[in-house]
Amino acid sequence: MFLFVGLFDMWMGGCQTQEQKVEKLISKLQHKNPKVRQTSVVALTKMGKDVVPVLIQALQGQNREIRSRAAFALGRIGTPEALKAVKKYES
């Protein structure tokens, strides 16, 4: 719970733009602690359709784990645009 509260606080107040908030959460997807990574995915998913473009961009990155986590978050968000990007990523 503490991890989620800390990431939620970071998401709400520590950054100026939506993109910076998402980038900060995406950077946590590389954290050595799996609970931090999982909490970041949950936070990204809760941000909803507003973060879809940034997550789609993350699918094009070099880090395989970030691409995988971004695809997972997009699948959870479930908008047509998000699902289309996941389908393209999987192929």
What is the per-residue pLDDT for 51? Answer: 86
Nearest residue to 59 via CA among 39, 37, 83:
83
CA-CA distances (angstroms) from residue 40 to 47, 53, 71, 80, 88? Answer: 11, 17, 13, 22, 23
Query: For the chain, where are the alpha helices, taking DSSP H only?
Result: 2-13, 18-27, 34-47, 52-58, 64-77, 80-90
CATH of 2-90, one of 1.10.3470, 3.50.50, 1.25.10, 2.60.40: 1.25.10
Confidence of residue 2 (pLDDT cuts 50, 70, 90): very low
**pLDDT tens-digit readout, 7-65:** 555 555 555 677 777 778 878 877 888 888 778 878 888 888 888 988 898 888 887 87
Nearest residue to 25 via CA among 2, 54, 49:
54
Domain ranges of the chain: 2-90
